[in-house]
Amino acid sequence: MVHTGIGYDVHQLVAGRKLILGGVEIPHTKGLDGHSDADVLMHAICDAILGALGEEDIGHFFPNTDPRWKGAPSKVFLQEAARQAKFREARIVNVDATIIAQEPKVYPHILEMKRHIAEALDISIQRVGIKATTNELMGFIGRGEGIAAMAVAGVDLPEPKVING
Give residue 141's domain range: 2-156
Report the share of the chain in percent with pLDDT over 90: 86
Tell me whether residue 165 is in a domain. no
Tell me whether residue 161 is in a domain. no
Report whether pLDDT(81) > 70.
yes
Mean pLDDT computed over every residue of the chain: 94
CA distance 33 to 70: 11
Residue 27 burial (10 A CB sphere; 0-12, 13-18, 19+): exposed
CA distance 82 to 93: 11
* Closest of 2, 38, 4, 13 to residue 145, by C-alpha: 13
Q: The whole model's pTM is what?
A: 0.93
* pLDDT at residue number 165: 57
Tell me whether residue 56 is in a domain. yes
* pLDDT at residue number 45: 98
Tell me whether residue 104 is in a domain. yes
* Closest of 78, 153, 61, 60 to residue 122, by C-alpha: 78
Report how many domains make up the chain. Answer: 1
Tell me whether residue 8 is in a domain. yes
pLDDT band at 65 (very low <50, low <70, confident <90, very high): confident
**DSSP assigned state of 90:** -
pLDDT band at 7 (very low <50, low <70, confident <90, very high): very high
Tell me whether residue 6 is in a domain. yes
pLDDT band at 38 (very low <50, low <70, confident <90, very high): very high
Inter-residue contact 148 to 106 (CB < 8 Å): no
Domain with residue 134: its CATH number is 3.30.1330.50
Tell me whether residue 19 is in a domain. yes
Tell me whether residue 162 is in a domain. no
